[in-house]
Amino acid sequence: MAEDAARAVALRKMRVLATSLLILAAIIFLLVHLLTDMTGVWGFVARASEAAMIGAIADWFAVTALFRHPMGLPIPHTAIIPRKKDTLGASMAHFVAANFLQAETVSTKIRTAELTRRAGDWLIAPRNQDVVVRRAGQGLEYVLARVDDEAIADLTRNVLVPKLVSTRKSPALGMLIREIVDEGAHHHLVDLIVGEAHAWLSENPQVIDDIVQQKSPDWAPRFVNDVVSNRLRREVLEWTAEVRDDRFHRARQALDAWLVEVSQDLRGNTPLSERAEKVLDDLLTQDGVVDAVLEIWSSLKRLLRAAVLDEDGPVHARVRALLTEAAERMRTDRAFASEMDERIATTAGDLVESFGPELASVISDTIAGWDAKEASDRIELYVGRDLQYIRINGTVIGALVGVAIHALTLVLPAG
């Protein structure tokens, strides 16, 4: 990776710098001993270069011993990371779990991060909404493409139908009917049926004439049948018109009362509920049920795919509108944002408290999966550059200590 390559270059540069300081100290030490009498200032230079070399070599040994045997010599207590990588990995995982993956630490950070508001700021941008909608569509398309029709058939045949057959359905049906009546959702169906009946009778008056003709005795005069037919037709049309136009018509109220009674019977252990169970079970065990479910699934899948692919369609527009509404609330409703942040913080804290050690075990498991050299090289790649400062500081501090010791020897009286 480019990032690792950049780290390797930086590590090499720091190694060269630290080694160059050691070489510089050695050259100064040699020149002072060869070309001067090491008195006066040269004494300070000699002791400084000598101590600098000692410090540089000692720290080079310490840093190198972490990752490998110095100069390839199997000196005890060197190559610490290759030999102890599993122990170090376990210790690091425990350290992270004990000090970072704690409920209070994580939840406090989340509370102060204002995640909900920041998410709203991000989501309000149209391009980000497009990303969310597109990714959601891609996810749905991925799921739809991988759900096999045969799997749906098997699920229906072996799971759904047996489960429905073994479960009492009439109470749920009774509750559904009662809910429909309470909400008045059936009025539209009644309007449609009564309206169509009125229109059909208006356009087909001969139907009533034929019924009267069939039911009347043979000796009845024709004009009597005509009178009865006209009167009956007029009454039926008036009655259907009244039912159609009056939402509080007695027929509608009677229908509502009957539906309520049916819903109550279905929810109890009554003959009606038993008959309903038998009818529903017979319907569910028909061979055509699986085919019907597959047809519904195929139609639903086509509709969903069409909605997903049509980026300018109503589904995408509706989703974007919902995202905009949600984003505005996250940004402006402080009480809502605070509540959401608190829920996220609490949930994250609970999850970390429960699964913190397992999450931290990723560190130890990953390091355990590396071989010794790979572990040493990767860790050195990330921390080796900073460790080279130890060598540099050792060289500089060593030189200063050498100067201080030499000065002290000059001040102290000779023995």
Per-residue confidence at 218, pLDDT binned at 50, 70, 90? low
Q: Which of 10-19, 377-386, 390-399 has the lowest mean pLDDT?
A: 377-386
Q: Is 148 left (phi over 0), alpha (psi -120 to 50) or beta?
A: beta
Q: Is the pLDDT of residue 168 over 80?
A: yes
- Token pair 């008036």 in the structure block, residue: 238
Angle at 369 between CA 363 and CA 370, to 5 degrees: 100
Token pair, residue 232, equals 């009956």
Per-residue confidence at 222, pLDDT binned at 50, 70, 90? low
Helix (H, G, I), strand (E, B) or coil at 114: coil
Q: Give the model confidence (pLDDT) of 26-38 as tens digits.
A: 999 999 988 888 8
Residue range 51-78: average pLDDT? 87
Instruction: Specify the pLDDT at position 214.
Output: 65
Residue range 332-352: average pLDDT? 89
CB count, 10 Å around CB of 359? 16
Pick the more confident residue, 28 or 368.
28
Residue 119 to residue 330: CA distance in whole angstroms: 8
- Token pair 């560190």 in the structure block, residue: 363
**pTM for the model:** 0.50
Residue 14 to residue 17: CA distance in whole angstroms: 5
CA dihedral sign of residues 227, 229, 232, 238 = negative
Q: Is the pLDDT of residue 143 over 70?
A: yes
Instruction: Specify the pLDDT at position 221.
Output: 66
Token pair, residue 62, equals 């310490």
Instruction: Specify the pLDDT at position 213.
Output: 66
Helix (H, G, I), strand (E, B) or coil at 80: helix
Residue 205 to residue 167: CA distance in whole angstroms: 48
Residue range 222-243: average pLDDT? 76
Q: Give the model confidence (pLDDT) of 249-263 as tens digits.
A: 888 888 889 888 988
Per-residue confidence at 223, pLDDT binned at 50, 70, 90? low
Q: Which of 49-53, 127-131, 179-183, 226-230 has the lowest mean pLDDT?
A: 226-230
| 163 CB-side CA count, 13 A | 6
Q: Are the C-beta atoms of 132 and 228 separated by less than 8 Å?
A: no
Q: Is the pLDDT of residue 415 over 60?
A: no
Angle at 227 between CA 223 and CA 228, to 5 degrees: 115
Q: Is the pLDDT of residue 117 over 70?
A: yes
DSSP secondary structure code for residue 156 in this structure: I
DSSP secondary structure code for residue 157 in this structure: I
Instruction: Specify the pLDDT at position 224.
Output: 63
Among 68, 96, 99, 70, CA closest to 81: 68
Q: Give the model confidence (pLDDT) of 275-287 as tens digits.
A: 888 888 888 788 7
Residue 329 to residue 342: CA distance in whole angstroms: 16
Token pair, residue 407, equals 């000065």
Residue 253 to residue 340: CA distance in whole angstroms: 47
Distances (CA, A) of 231 to 122, 212, 217, 222, 237: 72, 11, 18, 14, 10
Kindly report the average pLDDT of the chain as a whole number.
84
Residue range 327-346: average pLDDT? 91
Instruction: Specify the pLDDT at position 51.
Output: 93
Instruction: Specify the pLDDT at position 92.
Output: 80
Cβ-in-10-Å burial (0-12, 13-18, 19+) of 367 comes to: buried
